[in-house]
Amino acid sequence: MEKKKPAGQPDKRQAIINGALALFARDGYTRASLDAIAAEAGVSNRTIYNHFNDKAELFQTVIQESTQRVADTVVDVIDRHLSKVVDLETDLVDLGLAWLAVLTSDLAPHFALIRQINAETEHIPPAALRLWQDTGPGRVRRELAARLRQIADRGHLTIDDPTRAAGHLMLLISADNLADRAMLNDKDEVTAMVSAGVHVFLYGYKR
């Protein structure tokens, strides 16, 4: 009784977006059919067109939604680990582990979606592409850069270009992830990767 279906507008739209995210992430824009998305969302094909004008609009909406969600969580992870630094190395390692935990969380499909975006670059309107860059990875990068600047100002590191340093740290933390994603399931390998990455970052920007 609690979850009776409200025939009205409420959460159908969200269900569509979630289902579309799952299929776009796995199959890509072209391969993911609207019928399959409708089935995944537990919704009629026709209903999708009551909420979105066409497939492209749905795709862009999915990108924005998912990007917003993930950016929020990652920014939160950054703030939680770098707002007050006690021991820089262990704090950075913890940050890296928490970061990678997001990759295997329920937000995992988002990162498959990102790979789709990176592949579809030529077929996505540049405006949407810039918007994504700015509210997604760009925002995370800026947040991390700001934290690094604080840390540098306290004399722990020497950073001339915090934005670039933020990029370096992001890459070093998840280095092997780009080569072999299956490794994310081995806890020991993950900590080894993060520790090594943080170590290089720390000594690379030492003093």
Partner DNA sequence: ACCCGATTACATCGTCCGTTGCATTTCATG
Partner DNA sequence: CATGAAATGCAACGGACGATGTAATCGGGT
Q: Which positions lie near its own copies, rule CB under 8 A?
A: 26-28, 30-31, 112, 115-116, 118-123, 133, 137-138, 141, 161, 164, 167-168, 171-172, 175-176, 178-180, 193, 196-197, 199-206
Give the side-chain half-sphere CA count within 13 A for 17.
Answer: 18
Q: What's the CA dihedral at 18, 70, 177, 199 to 10 degrees?
A: -170
Q: Judged by CB, which is closer to its own copies: 43, or 201? A: 201
Smallest gap, in angstroms, from Cβ of residue 181 to its own copies?
8
Choose the one of DNA, its own copies, none that binds residue 13, judging by a C-beta under 5 to 8 angstroms depending on kind. Answer: DNA
Q: Judged by CB, which is closer to DNA: 33, or 105? A: 33
C-alpha span between 190 and 97 (Å, rounded)? 8
Question: What are 59's strand-pairing partners?
Answer: none
Whether 61 contacts 19, CB under 8 Å = no
Q: Judged by CB, which is closer to DNA: 30, or 105? A: 30
Binders of DNA in range 101-120 (CB under 7 A): none
Part of the chain binding DNA (CB under 7 A), chosen from 53-61, 96-104, 121-129, 132-140:
53-61
Smallest gap, in angstroms, from Cβ of residue 54 to DNA?
3
Q: Which two tokens mark 35?
A: 């019928």
C-alpha span between 58 and 126 (Å, rounded)? 17
Residue 158 binds DNA, judged by CB under 7 A:
no
Residue type, 134: D
Whether 116 contacts 25, CB under 8 Å = yes
Q: Judged by CB, which is closer to DNA: 6, or 155? A: 6
Exactly one of 26, 28, 56, 111 binds DNA (CB under 7 A); which one? 56
Q: Provide the mask over 13-52, with x wherever binding to DNA is found by CB under 7 A and - wherever it is not.
A: x----------------x-xxxxx-----xxxxxx-xxx-
Choose the one of its own copies, DNA, none that binds residue 84, judging by a C-beta under 5 to 8 angstroms depending on kind. Answer: none
Q: Which two tokens mark 161?
A: 């270009």
Could you give the 3-state DSSP secondary structure of residue 157?
A: strand
Whether 152 contacts 159, CB under 8 Å = yes
Name the residue among 174, 186, 153, 149 with its Cα closest to residue 164: 149
Part of the chain binding DNA (CB under 7 A), chosen from 5-13, 131-139, 144-152, 162-170:
5-13
